[in-house]
């Protein structure tokens, strides 16, 4: 009995999806749990695997087609074996002669030279992609034609014709542009970022933090931490996530969200961690981060980051979040203003650690400093609250023992 291959059930926050790629085609054999098709939604790329061994009898949704939750994608015949492939059909290049005068096979610059000099493009060998004739091909042909002896003798009295002037090739024969549609994820990211700037009263405040205490602590216990916690490395993000959790407890407005005309205060800290992937920026969430140890935070961040880069995140990993931490410093950013992730009302931006001369007790000392940025929704959070929140994070980082002691 044939098996119906259906799309997964989408959560309420995802209306539909798009067929991103078929990894198997009609008539091909599939093994149980083998990847067959990828579906791209607004948030993640979902993988659909084969429920049993068999052969794909018919594909019902083409690549690029928009589908709904639990839509029928393909029909699989269980236990069947794919038939031997038919002899390869003769390629168009073998069965028919390509018309070299076809404008589609010439670039604009090459076409212009052909028209100006009345050349027969079928005599020109194209060296571009797919046999495409380039400007350099035309110029080379013209130069060769001029150097070749004329087939017919030229009468002595005949006037000497003016010799065509060679046009030196430019730095590039063509200036190529490529237009591709946005992926669903990129389009959704663009939409949300635009909404954040247009529908919130977003404002940013800045401070700087001395990273020397955290760096000294990390240097002292890095190897021991990694051995004790099964290879989990001690980074900087864990300190900032824990510092943010403590600061959010003191300033609940920063951990709140706006729902219509209501303010929703969250009694928990679900921290979103921004991760850059090839498909765009995603923000997986650390659930109940306030109850996680530093090692748990670091391990969870690493796991989410690896799964994000492999497109293995689920909708549940991306849903929710009461506050976000992003680190542009890993790419070398010295200072930026992060954009809110609605409906959240605050986002903390970390940046590059850079040594700078600082005045300490009347003396100039070179210290590893980091700029911090807090973007917040001014509709809910006053400037005083935002500044005090950022100062609290700064104090906790400059004296990491406060995080453990909750001071």
Active-site annotation, residues: 378, 382
Q: 3: burial class by Cβ within 10 Å (0-12, 13-18, 19+)?
A: middle
DSSP class per residue in 266-301: -SS--EEE-EEETTEEE--EETTGGGS-HHHHHHHH
Q: Which helix (H) or strand (E) covers residue 305, if one does?
A: helix 294-309
Give the C-alpha separation, 234 to 225, whole Å. 7
Give the C-alpha separation, 63 to 66, whole Å. 9
Q: How far apart are the first and last CA of the chain?
A: 66
Cα R_g (the chain), whole angstroms:
31
Strand partners, 21: 38
What sign has the CA pseudo-torsion 137, 138, 143, 145?
positive
Residue 389's nearest CA partner among 268, 288, 244 is 244
Q: Give the DSSP letter of residue 126.
A: P
């Amino acid at each position: 009995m044939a098996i119906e291959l259906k799309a997964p059930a989408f959560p309420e926050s995802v209306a539909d999806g798009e067929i991103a790629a078929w990894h198997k085609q009609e008539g091909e054999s599939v093994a149980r749990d083998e990847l067959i098709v990828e579906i791209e939604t607004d948030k993640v790329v979902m993988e659909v695997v084969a429920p049993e061994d068999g052969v794909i009898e018919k594909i019902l949704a083409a690549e690029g087609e928009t589908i709904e939750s639990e839509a029928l994608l393909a029909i699989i015949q269980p236990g069947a074996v794919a038939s031997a492939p038919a002899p390869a059909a003769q390629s168009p290049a073998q069965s028919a002669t390509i018309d070299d005068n076809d404008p589609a096979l010439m670039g604009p610059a090459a076409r212009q030279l052909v028209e100006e000099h009345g050349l027969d493009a079928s005599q020109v060998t194209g060296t571009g992609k797919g046999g495409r004739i380039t400007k350099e091909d035309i110029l080379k042909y013209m130069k060769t034609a001029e150097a070749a002896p004329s087939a017919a003798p030229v009468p002595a009295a005949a006037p000497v014709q003016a010799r065509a002037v060679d046009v030196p090739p430019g730095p590039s024969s063509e200036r190529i542009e490529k237009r591709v549609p946005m992926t669903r994820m990129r389009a959704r990211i663009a939409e949300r970022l635009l909404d954040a700037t247009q529908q919130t009263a977003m404002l940013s405040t800045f401070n700087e933090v001395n990273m020397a205490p955290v760096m000294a602590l990390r240097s002292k216990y890095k190897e021991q931490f990694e051995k004790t916690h099964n290879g989990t490395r001690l980074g900087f993000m864990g300190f900032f996530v824990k510092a943010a959790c403590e600061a959010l407890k003191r300033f609940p407005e920063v951990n709140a969200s706006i729902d219509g005309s209501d303010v929703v205060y969250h009694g928990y800290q679900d921290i979103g961690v921004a991760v850059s992937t090839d498909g765009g920026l995603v923000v997986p969430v650390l659930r109940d981060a306030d109850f996680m140890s530093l090692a748990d935070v670091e391990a969870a961040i690493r796991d989410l980051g690896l799964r994000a880069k492999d497109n293995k995140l689920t909708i549940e990993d991306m849903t929710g979040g009461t506050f976000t931490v992003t680190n542009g410093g890993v790419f070398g950013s010295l200072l930026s203003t992060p954009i809110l992730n609605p409906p959240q009302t605050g986002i903390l931006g970390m940046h590059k650690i850079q040594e700078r001369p600082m005045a300490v007790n009347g003396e100039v000392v070179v210290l590893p400093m980091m700029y911090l940025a807090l973007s917040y929704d001014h509709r809910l959070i006053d400037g005083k609250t935002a500044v005090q929140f950022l100062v609290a994070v700064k104090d906790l980082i400059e004296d990491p023992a406060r995080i453990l002691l909750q001071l």
